[in-house]
A and B are shown apart, each in its own frame.
Chain A
């Protein structure tokens, strides 16, 4: 599984994930991007079965394109969220959990889409994946009164994902962050956690 974090701020939405892909106890990939931009105004995080999640994200992307082409205007945020949940529910469920970020005329929206097809709109933050425990601990203890900007939210998300990589075997190797401001283009950046080797005895002596 994975650690994915979504945070809503007055400036916009921040999504963040780790970069590890596992196959059983094997780390299959160390620089995976688990955030899929769907169009210029929406993106979804992936946690769980990669094959199912990738196909699901692809289906949503095609639906966005198809609907815009057919009727002439894009799916509204609530339409995309409803479609995202309905598709899973109708398919009988997906082995995965998803965080959806959308943007429309009425601003940005953060959604938690469950693997059973449930849909919950979030006002502040949400976490999914096997690393939820450590990450949500960091987020619950954050000083939210001081998290006003997306830059603040990225720092909190970084701490949350880093915490999960310390205690969850299925999360690790780095950090991917996606930003969806209230206006303007989205951003997608990747970070690698450093793997410096330090000697314990020297550290203890200090």
Chain B
């Protein structure tokens, strides 16, 4: 006899939310921080990575999808691999059909379609945080999108996902309000804030080494 499969966690509950989505958000909140912010001229992305072990290099959190687009992923390891594979398929297919570089907007729309489709076809959501960053409109206009696990894509000026992301977003927000500071410094400070929070709230984290990697992305020249 086939065991009955309980799919209740994939439906809306009495509070109006979908339990599987809530659990997926908890999972992605356990991933190492990923951060991005933009202004008119550039996009800055940052990741917090494990460091100091000769045996472990850490997972690839920044995926270069095209000349105009990078994707930051964090959360459940297997699910992030699934996202990387999807991104490779997307980039190759786009290049093959249109011969051009896929843009952040197109990547965010495709990823969101996929994430939403999971829930509509009785599959669990991916426990991943996804930030799509780069340059739209032929590589000229800075853009950042957050692809939520529920299949929603929103445009952002700055965002942090993963462990201690609320602290990182607060730091980012304060930094972007002020004037005079370089965007790179603001993003790095936000990543350092998240890292500090991680170490303060978790004894195991406090004993481990991490490093902050920051990358500045520039638009294509006209």
Chain A residues within CB distance 8 Å of chain B: 70-73, 75-76, 78-79, 81-83, 86, 105
Are B103 and A71 touching (Cβ within 8 A)?
yes
Find the B residue at minimum CB distance from A73: B137
**Cβ B97 vs Cβ A82 within 8 A:** yes
A–B Cβ pairs within 8 angstroms, 9 of them: A70-B106, A71-B103, A71-B109, A73-B136, A76-B138, A78-B99, A79-B100, A82-B100, A105-B138
Assess whether A70 is in contact with B98, with CB atoms less than 8 Å apart: no
What's the nearest-Cβ distance from chain A to residue B92, in Å?
13
Would you call B136 and A86 a contact (CB within 8 A)?
no
A76 to chain B: which residues have CB within 8 Å?
A: 100, 138
Q: Contact residues of B with A, CB < 8 Å?
A: 96-100, 103, 105-106, 109, 136-138
What residues of B have a CB within 8 angstroms of the CB of A82 in the complex?
A: 97-100
A82 to B96, CA, bound (A): 8
Which residues of the partner chain A approach B109 to less than 8 Å between Cβ atoms? 70-71
Q: A72-B136, A78-B100, A83-B98 are in contact. List 8 more A-B contacts (CB 8 A).
A: A70-B106, A70-B109, A71-B103, A71-B136, A73-B138, A76-B138, A86-B96, A86-B97
Give the one of B98, B106, B136 with max A CB within 10 A: B98
Q: Is the beta-carbon distance between A75 and B137 smaller than 8 angstroms?
A: no
Chain A at the B interface: SS class: helix
Distance, CA A35 to CA B198, complexed state (A): 64
Closest to B102 in A: A71
Per CB-CB distance, the 7 closest pairs between chain A and chain B, nearest first, are: A82-B99, A79-B98, A73-B137, A79-B100, A71-B105, A86-B97, A82-B98
User: Residue among A73, A75, A78, A86 with the most chain B CB within 10 A?
Assistant: A73
Q: Which residues of B contact A79 (CB under 8 A)?
A: 98-100
Please measure, in the bound complex, the distance between the C-alpha atom of A105 and the C-alpha atom of B140, giving whole angstroms.
Answer: 13
Q: Is the CB of A72 within 8 A of B99?
A: no
Which residue of A72, A86, A105 has the most chain B CB atoms within 10 A of its CB atom? A72
**Complex interface: chain A residues within 8 A of B98 (CB):** 75, 79, 82-83, 86
Q: Which residues of chain B are within 8 angstroms of A105 by Cβ–Cβ distance? A: 138
Chain B residues with Cβ below 8 Å from A83 are 97-98
Chain B: CB-nearest residue to A104:
B138
A82 to B100, CA, bound (A): 9
Task: Tell me the nearest residue of chain B to A86, going by C-beta.
Answer: B97
A73 vs chain B, min Cβ distance (A): 5
CB distance from A38 to the nearest CB of B (A): 15
Residues in A whose Cβ lies below 8 Å from that of B97:
82-83, 86
> Smallest CB-CB separation from B99: which chain A residue?
A82
- The CA of A83 and the CA of B95, in the complex, are separated in Å by 10
A83 to B97, CA, bound (A): 6
When chains A and B are docked, how far (Å) is the Cα of A75 from the Cα of B137?
10
Give chain A nearest CB distance to B86 CB in angstroms. Answer: 18
B106's nearest neighbour on chain A, judged by CB, is A71
Smallest CB–CB gap between A202 and chain B, Å? 60
Most A CB contacts (10 A, CB to CB) among B99, B105, B136, B138 go to: B99
Residues of the B chain whose Cβ atoms lie less than 8 Å from the Cβ of A70:
106, 109
Bound complex: CA of A73 vs CA of B139, how far in Å? Answer: 12
Query: Which residues of chain A are near B137, meaning CB under 8 Å?
Result: 72-73
CA A72 to CA B97, docked complex, whole Å:
19
